[in-house]
Amino acid sequence: MQVENDIKELVIARLQTLPPDVAISIGSDGEFNKNELIAHVKEDDEIGKQIIEVEMDFLRALQNNIFYGAHLDNAA
């Protein structure tokens, strides 16, 4: 349970860095602003779970150098 809370806090911290005027579209669920995204993560509803999944996939990709590794391979 603590790990899940830590992940939620990490995702919320990342969302808080978004500019206030940014809106993110989540499939057919619509468009959400920063505060709405944070609220969904805190509520742990389906949209919040989708946001957490996307953020964690992004962080795992960074950890595995998927973005930077591809850039460096193309530079050689």
Q: Which tokens is 7 given?
A: 């992940």
Q: How far is CA 7 from the centre of its chain?
A: 10
Look at the chain and report how many structural domains it folds into. Answer: 1
Domain that holds residue 31: 2-75
Please choose, from the candidates 36, 30, 31, the residue with its C-alpha nearest in 3D space to the C-alpha of residue 12.
36
Q: How far is CA 5 from CA 1, 16, 31, 40, 64, in A?
A: 6, 16, 25, 14, 23
Task: State pLDDT tens for residues 34-46.
Answer: 999 999 999 999 9
Q: What is the mean pLDDT of the chain?
A: 88
pTM for the model: 0.80
Structure tokens at 59: 């962080």
Angle at 73 between CA 71 and CA 76, to 5 degrees: 110
Which residue shows structure tokens 């949209």? 47
